[in-house]
């Protein structure tokens, strides 16, 4: 897969791309991420990429020409069929969206700065808008990194053990179970004995139950399409957890 990222701060994004799983995937050629600076396509000597908004108001707006010309310059390396603007106005990014994007041959991510982007960029070249959550960032760079990381994990060969991706929180619609490693006893707190006993079926059951417990407590709206076994585990959890006084009252 090829991902082109348009950013006014390529030097800030580049080091983040080099670390960990993503860095190794790029080195192995499993994925290409290229950074393009719209400032290189500005028309004036001062390389201006923004201007005051028509109609007045606070802040600056990113101009059309540098952004659209930067995108046009990619025509020989990117199909430009998926040009995504990172914006708080976009559809919310989820694991499901990451999986959808991982199926593409290429995509282009636009990181906006200032108060936004001239609407004609959206009209003429943008095919999708993505938000990483209901809050406003000062720019799309962090959001682009979130998308690149989450999408790259879904590409074949990027994560060494597919099992790691398979058990990621949200992959099967639940939050992940808690994890433990050595030492088995830490300051009086023992790791659950089932994880140390080597009974694979019992471990799987424990993990599923703890994933259900975490999801039930933290994100109950995610509990959908549960199997008979899940319902049984949830019933066990319900029987274990003493009700608080408040819950008893309602
Ligand atoms: N740019 C500013 N805020 C954003 C958000 N929440 N998601 C994506 N891009 C953004």
How confident is the model at residue 164, as a pLDDT?
A: 78
Fold of the domain built from segment(s) 2-160 = Alpha/beta knot (3.40.1280)
What integer pLDDT is reported at residue 161 of this predicted model?
A: 79
pLDDT tens track for 51-101: 999 999 999 999 999 999 999 999 999 999 999 999 999 999 999 999 999
Q: Is 72 a catalytic residue?
A: no
Query: Does the Cβ of 137 fall within 6 Å of ligand 1?
Result: yes
Of 88, 113, 118, 210, the catalytic one is: 88
pLDDT of residue 185: 98
- What integer pLDDT is reported at residue 26 of this predicted model? 97
pLDDT for residue 249: 61
Shortest CA distance to 155 belongs to which of 207, 103, 79?
103
Query: What parts of the chain have a pLDDT lower than 70?
Result: 171, 241, 243-250
- State if residue 88 touches ligand 1 by the CB under 6 angstroms criterion: yes
Query: CB of 101 within 8 A of CB of 128?
Result: no
Active site residue 88: yes
CA distance 98 to 96: 5
Pick the CATH number of 167-249 from 3.40.605.10, 3.40.50.970, 3.40.50.2300, 1.10.1270.20: 1.10.1270.20
Q: Which of the following is catalytic: 63, 113, 153, 213?
A: 153
Which tens digit of pLDDT belongs to each residue from 101-122? 999 999 999 999 878 999 999 9
Same fold, 2-160 and 167-249: no
Structure tokens at 18: 């080099």
pLDDT for residue 241: 65
Give the per-residue pLDDT at 190. 98
* 128 CA to centre of ligand 1 in angstroms: 13
pLDDT of residue 113: 84
pLDDT at 143: 98
Residue identified by tokens 């790029």 is 26
Q: What is the pLDDT of residue 242?
A: 73
Distance from the alpha carbon of residue 145 to the mean position of ligand 1, in angstroms? 11
Is the CB–ligand 1 distance for residue 10 below 6 Å?
no
Where do the structural domains in the chain lie, given as residue ranges? 2-160, 167-249
Ligand 1 neighbourhood includes 7 CB (under 6 angstroms)? no
Reported in sequence order, the residue ranges of the chain that DSSP labels E, i.e. its strands, are 2-6, 32-36, 50-51, 61-62, 83-92, 106-111, 128-131, 185-186, 189-190
């Amino acid at each position: 897969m090829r991902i082109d990222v348009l950013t006014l701060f390529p030097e800030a994004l580049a080091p983040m791309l080099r670390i960990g799983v993503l860095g190794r995937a790029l080195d192995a050629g499993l994925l290409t991420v290229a950074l393009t600076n719209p400032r290189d396509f500005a028309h004036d000597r001062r390389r201006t990429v923004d201007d005051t908004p028509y109609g007045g108001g606070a802040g600056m707006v990113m101009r059309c020409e540098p952004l659209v010309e930067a995108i046009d310059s990619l025509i020989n390396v990117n199909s430009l069929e998926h040009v995504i603007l990172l914006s708080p106005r976009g559809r919310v990014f989820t694991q499901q969206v990451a999986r959808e994007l991982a199926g593409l041959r290429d995509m282009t991510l636009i990181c906006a700065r200032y108060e936004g982007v001239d609407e004609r960029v959206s009209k003429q070249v943008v095919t999708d808008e993505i938000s990483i959550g209901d809050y406003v960032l000062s720019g799309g760079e962090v959001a682009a990194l979130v998308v690149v990381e989450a999408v790259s994990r879904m590409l074949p060969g990027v994560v060494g053990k597919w099992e790691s991706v398979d058990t990621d929180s949200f992959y099967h619609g639940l939050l992940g179970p808690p994890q433990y490693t050595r030492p088995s006893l830490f300051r009086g707190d023992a790791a659950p004995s089932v994880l140390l006993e080597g009974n694979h079926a019992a471990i799987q059951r424990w993990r599923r139950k703890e994933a259900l417990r975490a999801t039930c407590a933290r994100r109950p709206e995610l509990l959908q399409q549960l199997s008979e076994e899940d319902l049984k585990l949830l019933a066990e959890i319900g029987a274990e957890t003493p009700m608080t006084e408040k819950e008893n009252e309602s």
